[in-house]
């Protein structure tokens, strides 16, 4: 007996890619904020918390995507890399 998936594959991949993109934008905004906090020299707790938080959330999204299969993992990672290019472009560096 064959069962149909709850979410069609193209919709799932689009949603995972968008989630990777949004997470990537938040991730690289947190990287920028961490750098600013470290440069300001106002303690270590906030920069370390941001670092642990952003790495943990990114790992959780990519682990969830990996559990769904290779295509969702690649889709999430491609969204993340696209967000990196956008963040670099906004920072004035070629992506």
Q: Which residues contact 50 (CB under 8 A, 6 or more apart)?
A: 30, 33, 34, 37
| Rounded Cα gap, residues 34 and 19, in angstroms | 22
Q: pTM value?
A: 0.85
- Full pLDDT tens readout for the chain, 95 residues: 555 567 778 888 999 999 999 999 999 999 999 999 999 988 889 999 999 999 999 999 999 999 999 999 999 999 999 999 999 999 887 65
- Report whether 79 contacts 24 (CB < 8 A): yes
């Amino acid at each position: 007996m064959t069962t149909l998936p709850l979410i069609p594959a193209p919709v799932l991949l689009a949603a995972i890619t968008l989630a990777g993109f949004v997470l990537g934008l938040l991730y690289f905004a947190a990287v920028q904020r961490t750098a600013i906090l470290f440069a300001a020299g106002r303690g270590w707790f906030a920069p370390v918390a941001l670092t642990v938080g952003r790495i943990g959330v990114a790992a959780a999204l990519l682990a969830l995507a990996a559990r769904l299969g290779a295509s969702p993992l690649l889709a999430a990672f491609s969204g993340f890399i696209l967000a990196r290019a956008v963040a670099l472009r906004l920072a004035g560096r070629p992506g």
